Amino acid sequence: MHQQFKGVFSGVLLSLLGAGGALAQGTAGESAFGPGEQASYRVHYLGMTAGSAQVTVGAPMRQWGKDVWPIVSLAKSDAMAGVWPVKDKYVTYWDFNSQRVLGSDMHEDQNHKRRRVRVKLSDDGRSAQVVKQKEGEAPTEKNLEVLEGALDVTGATFALRNRVLEVGKEYAYPVFTGSKNFVMKAKVEAKETLTTAQGRQEVLRLRVYTEFSGNLASKRDMVAWLTADARHLPVRIEAELALGAVVAELQDYKQGKVVTPAPAVTAKKGI
């Protein structure tokens, strides 16, 4: 149960988070999200409440010489008998002006064992410097090729939120996980009404294809429900992984600042 919960919970975190490839509704439109936005989720594993996840768009900051919005994702397990404590933090550095991901920092704390992974994408978006370090050990560094314009899973999710989503259409983004490249695909299947913690809402149901492996491998495509308004906020995510069924549901939401991209930004098309 220890290893199962650790793997599954990390998988849900990736899903909520879970790339500079595709962009947005257009330079004239407002971003679907902005600094100050915060969404809190309850995570259920095998029908039991297992923990929580919180995704926050932080205040603008400087990273690697550029202005970015840090998108901070926190995952924490509940105090459950027989389960290792999990407290993970993942930060994606989103360059709003160019609508791309510059890199990320992951701070993993599972059963009191800590690990850090930093990914820095090159300026041309074709390679990444990956630094990994376990607590008490020396860091290791690799330079890996990535799909051109690659995002991480968080960046892909937030880029998707900025798109004009139409029923029947499929959207695709190149993703780099820190060790693997794949193309994340999301098809909008239908418009529905869903009962949520915020009441009944008009939502879009999306089928999401990923290529996670091992304990995070999916038995079927992930399904996500996003609000049908301009926010495209994820309110429910379902995944049937190799180790069991996982559901994440939105519990609380705070809207962030409304921001319009600078006129100089040129929108790009998805794959």
Closest CA to 234 of 221, 218, 251, 219: 251
The two structure tokens encoding residue 92: 């994606």
Q: Which pLDDT score is estimated for 243?
A: 66
Q: Which pLDDT score is estimated for 1?
A: 38
Is the Cα torsion angle 66, 70, 71, 74 positive or negative in sign?
Answer: positive
Is 45's pLDDT higher than 90? Answer: no
Query: What are the pLDDT digits (tens) for 201-245?
Result: 999 999 988 775 444 445 457 899 999 999 999 999 998 766 677
When pLDDT is averaged across residues 189-207 and rounded to a whole number, the result is: 94
Q: Which CATH class is domain 8-20+32-254?
A: mainly beta
261 touches 24 (CB < 8 A): yes
In the DSSP assignment, the letter for residue 165 is -
When pLDDT is averaged across residues 263-268 and rounded to a whole number, the result is: 43
Question: CA-to-CA distance for 9 and 114, rounded, in angstroms?
Answer: 16
- For the beta carbon of residue 67, count every other beta carbon within 10 angstroms: 12
Q: Which pLDDT score is estimated for 260?
A: 73
Query: What are the pLDDT digits (tens) for 84-107?
Result: 677 889 999 999 888 889 999 999
Question: CA-to-CA distance for 263 and 79, rounded, in angstroms?
Answer: 49
- Give the position of tokens 């459950």: 80
Query: What are the pLDDT digits (tens) for 129-160?
Result: 999 999 999 999 999 999 988 998 888 889 99
Closest CA to 151 of 98, 107, 114: 98
Q: Which pLDDT score is estimated for 232?
A: 94
